[in-house]
Amino acid sequence: MSEHQVARAYQERFSRQARAETALAELVQKAASVVLGESEPACAWLVVAGRPSRPIPRLVPPPSRAEAKDALLDGVKTAARLRLHSDPYGVRGVLSDRLSNAMHVGLRRWVDSNILVPELRSSQAGAMVELHHDGGVVVCVDLSHPLCSQIGTAMVDT
């Protein structure tokens, strides 16, 4: 490769990385604005987002409601299985007892939540999961409810 081709390849690589970081930040910002808008003013939310490093081909159809629900349930089961093997404190699942298991259609995404649908609201801490058609995943959990009674003394000082 000539020098200008190498320079162009590096420029394209850094541009792709910048676009991916921007898209990830937008996922976090949009989800945070939704959960903060639907919760009490003094709530603390943990918002985690991920996107595939390689885009899903455009010809792949979006997941159906059943496929999205199955993917979410598989993820919760996997997390519970991993937790059982690695957690000496016996911490309960963060999502398994909070979500409604009723996927709702969103804008190019499937959403499961216990805060967005008034009939599904409860006294439990809020949770929301988004499964985007492009492979992105967002998980939001309300951490402001008293967790010490649920998970023992797993508090961390930073």
Q: What is the pLDDT of residues 22-42, one digit of tens each?
A: 999 999 999 999 988 888 777
Please state, in angstroms and rounded to a whole number, the distance separating the CA atoms of residues 132 and 63. Answer: 9
Q: How far apart are CA 132 and CA 40, in angstroms?
A: 26
Residue 42 CA: distances (Å) to CA of 45, 122, 126, 149, 150: 10, 17, 13, 20, 20
> Model-level pTM?
0.74
**pLDDT, position 25:** 93
H or E stretch at 35? helix 3-38
- Provide the pLDDT for residue 97: 64
Phi, psi of 69 (to 5 degrees): -65, -45
**DSSP element (H, E) containing 7:** helix 3-38
